[in-house]
C-alpha cells in the first residue's frame, strides 16, 4: 500500500506537470503516442520518451534485483530513492522542467521490481487495472462461497494509489516538482523499513 501511495503521488505530479501524460501509467501514454502519431502532434515524442524512460527504469531495477539476491527489495528501493533524490536536487538547481519527468518515469519503472515471484513482477504498484480486475474476481468469489475478505488487499492497493495521488495533486500548486523531496523522504522511510525487516528467505533468492 505504501508503494502504491508513492506511485500515485509521483504520477499526480507528473500528470499535472505534463498536462495529461503520465510517469507511471504507460497504457495511457501508449494511447497518447498512437493518437499523436495519427494526428502529427508533438505529444507523440513526449509520450515515447516517457515510455522509453519507464522501460529503462524497469530494466535497471530488474538487473539490480537479480544481482542483489535476497536483498533485492532493499536494492530496488535504494535505486528508487536515489532517482527521486536526484530529481529533488535538480529542482533545487532550477531544473524543474518537463525533462525531469523522464527521471520520474524511470523511478516508477524501477519500483515495479520490488515484488517479484519466479523472476517476474508479482504485484504491479504503478498500474491499477490488474488490481481492479482481481478485486472484481475476488468479490465474485466471496459472493459464491470463496474467501470472504480475499478482495480486501486489492481494494487497499487501489486506495493507497488514490491517497497518494490526492496528496500529490494537492501539493503540486504549492511546490511544483519540488514535492519530489517529499516523495524521496517517503521512499527512504520505506527503504529503512525494508532494511529493518531483513533479507528475503534463502528460498526466495532466485524467485
pLDDT, one tens digit per residue, over 115-135 is: 776 555 656 677 788 889 999
Looking at residue 207, its pLDDT comes to 43
What's the domain count of the chain? 1
Burial class (CB in 10 A: 0-12, 13-18, 19+), 58: buried
SS3 content of the chain, % helix, strand, coil (to 5): 75, 0, 20
129: containing domain: 2-204
Contact of 191 with 81, CB cutoff 8 Å: yes
Looking at residue 135, its pLDDT comes to 94
Q: Which of the residues in the chain have pLDDT under 70?
A: 117-124, 202-207
Q: Model's pTM, two decimal places?
A: 0.90
Looking at residue 101, its pLDDT comes to 96
Burial class (CB in 10 A: 0-12, 13-18, 19+), 186: buried
Looking at residue 120, its pLDDT comes to 58
Looking at residue 10, its pLDDT comes to 97
Amino acid at each position: 500500500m505504501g508503494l502504491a501511495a508513492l506511485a500515485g503521488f509521483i504520477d499526480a505530479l507528473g500528470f499535472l506537470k505534463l498536462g495529461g501524460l503520465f510517469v507511471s501509467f504507460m497504457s495511457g501514454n501508449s494511447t497518447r503516442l498512437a493518437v499523436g502519431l495519427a494526428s502529427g502532434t508533438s505529444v507523440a515524442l513526449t509520450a515515447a520518451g516517457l515510455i522509453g524512460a519507464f522501460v529503462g527504469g524497469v530494466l535497471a531495477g530488474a538487473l539490480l534485483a537479480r544481482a542483489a539476491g535476497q536483498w533485492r527489495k532493499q536494492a530496488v528501493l535504494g535505486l528508487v530513492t536515489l532517482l527521486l533524490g536526484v530529481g529533488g536536487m535538480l529542482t533545487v538547481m532550477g531544473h524543474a522542467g518537463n525533462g525531469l519527468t523522464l527521471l520520474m518515469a524511470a523511478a516508477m519503472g524501477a519500483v515495479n521490481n520490488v515484488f517479484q515471484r519466479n523472476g517476474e513482477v508479482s504485484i504491479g504498484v504503478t498500474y491499477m487495472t490488474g488490481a481492479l480486475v482481481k478485486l472484481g474476481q475476488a468479490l465474485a468469489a466471496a459472493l459464491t462461497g470463496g474467501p470472504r475478505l480475499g478482495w480486501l488487499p486489492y481494494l487497499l492497493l487501489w486506495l493507497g494509489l488514490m491517497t497518494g495521488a490526492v496528496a500529490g495533486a494537492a501539493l503540486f500548486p504549492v511546490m511544483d516538482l519540488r514535492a519530489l523531496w517529499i516523495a524521496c523522504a517517503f521512499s527512504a522511510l520505506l527503504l529503512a523499513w525494508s532494511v529493518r525487516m531483513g533479507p528475503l528467505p534463502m528460498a526466495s533468492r532466485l524467485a
